[in-house]
Amino acid sequence: MNKLNVSIIGVPMDHGQNRRGVDMGPSAIRYAGVVERIEALGHTVTDEGDIQIGHADGSIDTETNLRNLKVVTDATEALGAKVFEVAEAGNFPLVLGGDHSIAIGTLAGISERHENLGVIWYDAHADMNTSDTSPSGNIHGMPLAASFGLGHEQLTNIRGYSPKVKPENIVIIGARSVDPGERELIKERGIRVYSMHELDKMGMDAVIDDAIHYLKEERRTDAVHLSLDLDGIDPMYTPGVGTPVPGGITYRESHLAMELLHDAGVITSAEFVEVNPILDEKNRTADVAVALIGSLLGEKLL
């Protein structure tokens, strides 16, 4: 099997939403043994440490309807630079969140190196709001829209270019909570969504197969980023998330998904986000994140 040089980048940020504690996600995932788990598979791991995150007061700006815009912009800019640097060096970027707003930075760093990036968004949510449609002002509900160029200019223009991805190169898996503005965008931009409905009908095996075929054969993407929000999984397995939605993907289905993605060899970068140790039970959610990272990077029973 292909051995990787994995670069771990922690992003202890909780300013993209309003439940404190998700900034401790990177420590919890490290504590759950992520480095050892990856090294045991024969990969080399460099822990690049954490991106510096500023302070913010948590208020929503009345003019922009955005919470903590400045600090999120600064953090995603710094993350984008780091991701670009490690990817340029030939390493596999593995970003640990932190709330999902950090994906704005990850995608900014990754996409700069690719003509036709694909994205798999494993999430209960579509994260496709803009400041105009957001019910919360929370930037963690906006990274996908920002990455295809919609929303506040400071969010769309990280690293000085926009858009980062084509909407047709995005696949969402696990959606079950979608806001009205997001629903419109999904239809209008032709974004491929495997909601819980499709997952139940087709099964995870066929969903991943279909998604890979779509991204590689139809869309001809030259790299695929996996953005995995732990709330995509059912909260009975991952209680430590800020916006849990019942009726989610199971633990077993999620492992199968990671194994199939590994076997297909399509994923070129990944991030695991929204682990909130304050809301968790005995670090279970971080343990699931580490186990899924193991499967994604080649762990097998026998």
Residue 43 known to be catalytic: no
Residues 94-123 that bind Mn ion (CB under 5 A): 100, 123
In this structure, how many other beta carbons lie within 10 angstroms of the beta carbon of residue 52?
11
CA distance to 50, 127, 230, 233, per residue, from 277 (Å): 17, 22, 12, 16
Structural tokens at position 112: 């700069």
**Which residues bind to ligand ARG, rule: CB under 6 A?**
100, 125, 127, 129, 134-136, 138, 140-141, 179, 229, 231, 243, 274
**How many positions of this chain bind Mn ion (CB under 5 A)?**
7
Selected from 77, 229, 259, 271, the binder of Mn ion by CB under 5 A is 229
Which of the 8 DSSP states describes residue 217?
I
Cβ-based nearer residue to ligand ARG, 180 or 265? 180
- To 10 degrees, the CA torsion angle through 206, 300, 290, 2? -90
CA distance to 58, 217, 265, per residue, from 118 (Å): 32, 12, 14
Residue 263 known to be catalytic: no
- DSSP H helices, the chain, are 25-31, 34-39, 69-88, 103-111, 143-147, 153-156, 180-189, 196-202, 204-213, 251-264, 284-296
292 belongs to the binding site for Mn ion (CB under 5 A): no
Cβ-based nearer residue to ligand ARG, 91 or 101? 101
Q: Length of the chain in residues, anyone?
A: 302
135 interface partner picked from Mn ion, ligand ARG, none, CB below 5 to 8 A per type: ligand ARG
Name the minimum Å distance from CB 225 to ligand ARG.
Answer: 15
15 belongs to the binding site for Mn ion (CB under 5 A): no
Cβ-based nearer residue to ligand ARG, 288 or 297? 288
What is the set of active-site residues? Answer: 100, 123, 125, 127, 140, 229, 231, 274
Binding site for Mn ion (CB under 5 A): 100, 123-125, 127, 229, 231
